[in-house]
Structure 1
Amino acid sequence: MLALLRQVALLPVRFYQYALSPLWGPKCRFYPTCSHYAVEAVTKFGILRGGWLTLIRVAKCGPFHPGGYDPVPPCTKCENKQQV
């Protein structure tokens, strides 16, 4: 049930990845891109914490942050390390 809720929560991100991002081209200053970061964070940590991490990541995007490599933090309390 939780996996289904996570997939539903990620629908807007998937729509962006497959419908809008190809039209606009690569614009993200981070690696992985913010949309890929969102998918990994929500998959790894769940909707609340993953959503919070994604919000923080998107808030960094702007002229005052250089971007670069910014991975999802490791999950130290995950029961199943193969969730990602």
Structure 2
Amino acid sequence: MHDISTAVVPSSSAPSGQVPSRNLSAAVGTFLWDLPRNILILLLKTYRKVISPLYGQVCRFFPSCSAYALEAVTVHGAVKGSWLAAKRLAKCHPWNAGGVDHVPAGHRHWPEGQTPTIVVLNNPDQFLAAQADEEGRSAA
């Protein structure tokens, strides 16, 4: 006979040292969902560090096409970011004067002080204005 007082009752929280399967599956799902974006970011950063310096400053736009692509993929993800980067590259030809062409704003928000560096570098006017507001003086 079994004693009811020794019955094993399932717990909603895992014992210490173990990750609940829900959290593990959510982490794996997030990793797989972000994998294409992270691979593209790695490829773009490699291009910017290795190949881009060989060409020098030849881009007719600000931010440069590789910086634009990096920000687009970071902000919008792999699919939409790649589409925006392809549209930008299609504009890069001798008959286009170039100029300032920012990545469209996304719906993604980062915690205070954790905005990706590429977003800050590509939008100096926006972040300098915010810094000036915090300090109470003009950034100019």
TM-score range, shorter chain: 0.7 to 0.9
Task: State the alpha-carbon separation in 1 of the partners of residues 99 and 50 from structure 2.
Answer: 25
| Corresponding residue for residue 134 of structure 2 | none
Q: How many residues align?
A: 81
Greater than 4 Å deviation, 4+ residue runs: none
Query: 5+ unaligned residues in a row in structure 2: which ranges?
Result: 1-30, 117-140
Deviation string for 1:17-59 (max 9, x for gaps)? 0011112211100000010101110111110001000000001
Normalising by structure 2, report the TM-score: 0.53
| Corresponding residue for residue 81 of structure 1 | 109
Pick aligned residue for 1:24 from 50, 55, 60? 55
| Corresponding residue for residue 9 of structure 1 | 40
Which one-letter code corresponds to 1:81 in the other structure? H
Larger Cα-atom Rg: 2
The structure whose RCO (Cα within 8 Å, separation 6+) is larger is 1
Task: State the alpha-carbon separation in 2 of the partners of residues 20 and 29 from structure 1.
Answer: 17
Task: State the alpha-carbon separation in 2 of the partners of residues 59 and 30 from structure 1.
Answer: 12
Normalising by structure 1, report the TM-score: 0.85
Query: 5+ unaligned residues in a row in structure 1: which ranges?
Result: none
The answer as to 2:66 corresponding to 1:66 is no
Deviation string for 1:49-78 (max 9, x for gaps)? 010000000010001111000000112xx2
